[in-house]
Structure 1
Amino acid sequence: MSDELILVNMKDEETGHQEKMEAHRTASLHRAFSVFLYKVVNKKVYMLLQKRAEGKYHSGGLWTNACCSHPRRGETLEEAVPRRMMEELGIRTEVKEVFSFTYYHRFSDICAEFEYDHVFVGRWEDKVTPDPQEISETVWVELSRLEQQMMDAPDTFTPWFMIAAPKVNAVIREEVSV
């Protein structure tokens, strides 16, 4: 399947398609998704973070949510999300969309993210098998510790994570009543 991304307008209505690297070079608004996974241990909530592989075309070596990607041309979010969780983490679990947002971030003269990002949340209690081409490391971090790390070292996290994580943390806390 082609790595053509789905271009959208500010209402997330499809407007066309563009090859992935070209969409990032030209900063074209495109559909994306971010998956946040959590578990509860002894009444404490932990979030799964991944460290992006150094070889990624942007944000290599930064911490972010469990899985993030784009649906491909002709692919729905319902198809893309489980596909990428299996490809990146080697898992299948149910997730639900909790909100969406649009963000823009320029990484270099030739790379920017301009995304309409759909945010999904789910529980996972087991091991993951990260694809080393995508992920160099994973870790479970207790939510209050994570929030402190975000305050102390925001530049160690991806831009989209810094936007979405505070709202996701509130959703998770409400879900598990912690």
Structure 2
Amino acid sequence: MSDEIILVNMNDDEIGCCEKMEAHRIPALHRAFSVFLYKRTGKKLHMLLQKRAEGKYHSGGLWTNACCSHPRRGETLAEAVPRRMTEELGIVAEVTEEFSFTYFHRFSENCAEFEFDHVFTGKWEGEVVPDPEEISEVSWMEFSDIEQGMMARPDSFSPWFLIAAPKVMAVLRNREQ
């Protein structure tokens, strides 16, 4: 399967394709998505977090949202999101797009993320079967514990999670009142 991802402009209009690692080396703005799964236990909301596998090309060992990736060349978000949830978590959950944002973060001289990130949320109550090549650990965490962790140890979380998670938690708290 092609490892070409979709390059976009600041309006998320497709402007071409590029091999994934090259897009991260250049860096080139590309389309991405982040899936946040949550559940309610009593009165508390919990979010599924994954700890990225140490061997990932960036952000290994950091906590982040349930699933994140890129649609491939010729693939829509509606196709890419369930594909990656299946590959990373062994599930397909019904999700809704909530918002999008653009961010840039340099990890090293030869690796940066420059993404137009589409953020999806969905409820999930079942088990997950994480791919150990992608994920070293998963945890359901209560929203306030996540917020405290982000304040106390921001370097334990992926850069996109620090941007998106507070917005996602606000949306979900409003929805689940």
Q: TM class, shorter-chain normalised?
A: over 0.9
TM alignment of 1:16-55, pairs within 5 A = 16-55=16-55
- State the one-letter code of the partner of 2:19: E
- 1:117 aligns to what? 117
TM alignment of 1:85-164, pairs within 5 A = 85-164=85-164
Residue-by-residue CA offset, 1:38-68 (whole Å, 9 max, x unaligned): 0001111000000000000000000000000
- State the one-letter code of the partner of 1:74: G
Normalising by structure 1, we get a TM-score of 0.99
- State the one-letter code of the partner of 2:89: L
Structure 2: gaps spanning 5 or more residues = none
Question: RMSD across aligned C-alpha pairs, in angstroms?
Answer: 0.4
Displacement of 1:175 after TM fit? 1.3
Displacement of 1:32 after TM fit? 0.1
For residues 170 and 44 of structure 1, the distance between their equivalents in structure 2, rounded to whole angstroms, comes to 14
- 2:169 aligns to what? 169
For residues 8 and 170 of structure 1, the distance between their equivalents in structure 2, rounded to whole angstroms, comes to 28
Structure 1: gaps spanning 5 or more residues = none
Displacement of 1:93 after TM fit? 1.0
- 2:60 aligns to what? 60
- 2:83 aligns to what? 83
State the 4+ residue runs in structure 1 displaced beyond 3 angstroms.
Answer: none
- Number of residue pairs the alignment of both structures matches: 177
For residues 133 and 175 of structure 1, the distance between their equivalents in structure 2, rounded to whole angstroms, comes to 34
For residues 97 and 70 of structure 1, the distance between their equivalents in structure 2, rounded to whole angstroms, comes to 15
Displacement of 1:72 after TM fit? 0.1
For residues 94 and 41 of structure 2, the distance between their equivalents in structure 1, rounded to whole angstroms, comes to 19
- State the one-letter code of the partner of 1:46: H
Displacement of 1:126 after TM fit? 1.0
Normalising by structure 2, we get a TM-score of 0.99
For residues 93 and 59 of structure 1, the distance between their equivalents in structure 2, rounded to whole angstroms, comes to 25
- 2:69 aligns to what? 69
For residues 115 and 92 of structure 1, the distance between their equivalents in structure 2, rounded to whole angstroms, comes to 24
Percentage identity across aligned positions? 73
